[in-house]
Each structure stands twice: as C-alpha cells, then as structure tokens.
Amino acid sequence: MTDALAPRALILGSTSRYRRELLSRLRLDFDVVSPEVDETPLAGETPQALASRLALAKARAVAARFPQAVVIGSDQVADLAGEPLGKPGTHERATAQLRRMRGQTVIFQTAVAVVCQASGFEQSDIAPVRVTFRDLTDAEIEAYLQAEQPYDCAGSAKSEGLGIALLEAIDNDDPSALVGLPLIRTCRMIRAAGVKVL
C-alpha cells in the first residue's frame, strides 16, 4: 500500500543541457537519461509532426527502461515555410540557416510528452513559437556566430543570449518553449501524471 502512494521518480529523457537547465527551474529532483532515438525525419513529415513524434518517442523509449517513473520527452524543430531546420552542427550550416531566415518568420515547433508506463499515463502537446528575424546583414550573422557558436540549437540562434539581437519579435504563450522545453505545458502534464510541482 505504501509503494502505491510513494512519489514516482521524474526523468528527463533528453541529452539537451538547455532542457536540463529549464527543468531545474521547477526545483524538482529528477534524473537525466539519454533516449537514444533516431531523429531522422520521415518522408513528407511536417516540422510539427516531426517534433511531436520525436517528443513522444523519446518519452516512451526512456519509460520502457524505467516503467515506474514519470518521463518527460521533448523535441524542437524550426519550421521555415513548412521545411524543417534542425541543429546546424557547423559554422557553415549555421551561416546558411541564418541567411535563409533573415527577414522571415520561423515557427519553432516545441513538443513535450509525458509518459508513465506503470500507470498508463501518456500526454503530449506542442507549443509553437513564431519568431520574426530581422533582415540581417552577412556581417551581423558572422559576428553573432563567432560570439555565441549556437551550433547545437535548432535555427542557429539562442534567444536567451545574444541571439535576441537577431530578432524583431517573438510570439508565444509559453515563454520557455523557444529555449527548448515549454514549462507551462510540462507542469500541467507532470501534475496530471501525479508529480507534485509546488
């Protein structure tokens, strides 16, 4: 009887340091486990569908290894007119991404999923963030990339850092979503899964 009432472990199924830092804001004890999920887009998959599928796949993969835990999975895909833009990985690819995005509105599709295999709990949601980039010069792009080197960020920019200077506007309803984990939605789902947040 006591075991049924014991709080479940909370696990972040992610290798992202940004998501780990965001989840830490909630002052909850949690572990971090790599989900080891193939992130290759499916043929014809939209950025929104890709982000949603990967968030759920990551949560399910970790929940399969830790069935008693409440597991959070998340994924973000930058959506430029329906085309998915991933993490650039290199300076050259980041330069090309920012050149394509200048003067454009990009939707950062940030998905989150919460799964507890033991209780059968599974929910997911997506927090779209509309980001309008300034009409950047090549010199501004180069200066930014040299300063911040955001090669591990979808869309090649960190809005929580110097990347904010690249932008005209951000429009969303979950302020941490652009950084990589929509905490309002995450709180709602982990509460529903039985995790006490406050």
Tell how far CA 60 is from the center of its chain: 16
**CATH assignment of the domain containing 166:** 3.90.950.10
Q: Is residue 68 part of a domain?
A: yes
Catalytic-role residue among 3, 31, 38, 75: 75
List, for residues 163-179, the tens digit of each pLDDT value.
999 999 999 999 999 99
Beta-strand (E) ranges in the chain? 10-13, 31-33, 70-80, 83-85, 105-116, 121-133, 167-171
Q: Is residue 167 part of a domain?
A: yes
* pTM, to two decimals: 0.90
Q: Is residue 127 part of a domain?
A: yes
pLDDT for residue 4 is more than 60: no
pLDDT above 90 covers what percent of the chain? Answer: 88
**Confidence band (pLDDT; 50, 70, 90) for 51?**
very high
Q: What is the pLDDT of residue 87?
A: 87
Q: Is residue 43 part of a domain?
A: yes
Q: Is residue 78 part of a domain?
A: yes
- The CB density around residue 172, as the number of other CB atoms within 10 Å, is 17
Known catalytic residue: 75? Answer: yes
Task: For the chain, give the mean pLDDT.
Answer: 94
* Structural domain range at position 68: 2-192
Q: Is residue 148 part of a domain?
A: yes
pLDDT above 70 covers what percent of the chain? Answer: 97
List, for residues 96-119, the tens digit of each pLDDT value.
999 999 999 999 999 999 999 999
Q: Is residue 197 part of a domain?
A: no
DSSP structure string for 27-66: ----EEE------PPPTT--HHHHHHHHHHHHHHHHHHHS
Which of 38, 48, 20 lies closest to 180, judged by CA?
20
**Structure-token pair, residue 16:** 């992202």
Tell how far CA 148 is from the center of its chain: 19
Q: What is the pLDDT of residue 5?
A: 58
b or e along 108-143 (b: 16 or more beta carbons within 10 Å of the residue's beta carbon)? bbbbbbbbbbeeebbbbbbbbbebebeebeeeebee
Q: Is residue 28 part of a domain?
A: yes
The dihedrals phi and psi of 85, each to the nearest 5 degrees, come to -115, 120
Number of domains in the chain: 1
